[in-house]
Each structure stands twice: as C-alpha cells, then as structure tokens.
Amino acid sequence: VQLQASGGGLVQAGGSLRLSCAASGITFSRYHMGWFRQAPGKEREFVAAIIWSGDRTAYADSVKGRFSISRDDAKNMVDLQMNSLKPEDTAVYYCAARQLSVWNEYRMKNRNLYDYWGQGTQVTVSS
C-alpha cells in the first residue's frame, strides 16, 4: 500500500495550495480518506475527511470555509484545496486511508482509526 502526497511548498499568508494524494495497493473506492497535519512539537491533528462515496465531508473547525477535500476514484486520488492560508497552517500534511465503515464524523477525526498513512508533504506559510 502506498499513499503518495504532493503539492506542498512555501506560500505567503492569504495564498493557496492544492495537495494531492495518490493511492495504490488498495481498493480506493472502499476507503474513507483523510488529511491530517503535524506542526513541530505538536501532535498530529485532523484536518479533513471524505466518505468513500464522496458525498460527505468533515473538517476541523480551524479550516472550515478555507479548505476543501475532494476525491477522484477514477484516478485513486484525494485532494485538499487550501485557500486563505495562515502561518498557523504551517505543518507536514499527511493523507490517510480508513477502510469502509459506517460514517461517523467524530470517529473520522481520530487518527488511531486509520489503516494507512502517506509520507507527508511540507506546507510552510510565511507571514
């Protein structure tokens, strides 16, 4: 199983980035997908998740209205569009896959319930 995240970089506050995660080795359509992030010295935290069917999403309060998660099952990819970026969004961003289960927004925010993780991509937002 491989989750390959890309799209990170350095951007000024107020700017935008689009992260992508390409999945292989899993039946992508049978997995919920999530994005998490980890800043230096902090725990890995939930950012966004999308249900296997693509018609339900969940977001951390800190990114609601600024970030948008989407998936393309034909390409086995999940994207995170990040707008109005802030310096506090600086972190390593990880995509993760959780095997098909009953959708529960609270549980989707629990990093311990994900089955596979990508290697992460660095996002740095300068002020």
Using an 8 Å Cβ cutoff, are 52 and 64 in contact?
no
Q: What is the pLDDT of residue 93?
A: 98
- The CA distance from 59 to 90, in Å, is 17
Tokens encoding 97: 């896959």
Q: What is the pLDDT of residue 9?
A: 97
Q: What is the pLDDT of residue 66?
A: 98
Task: Give the residue ranges of the chain where pLDDT is below 70.
Answer: none
- Neighbouring C-alpha atoms within 13 Å toward the C-beta of 46: 22
Q: What is the pLDDT of residue 123?
A: 98
Q: What is the pLDDT of residue 50?
A: 97
Q: What are phi and psi of 118, to 5 degrees?
A: -85, 180
Which residues lie closer than 8 Å to 62 by C-beta, 6 or more apart? 88
Using an 8 Å Cβ cutoff, are 36 and 42 in contact?
no
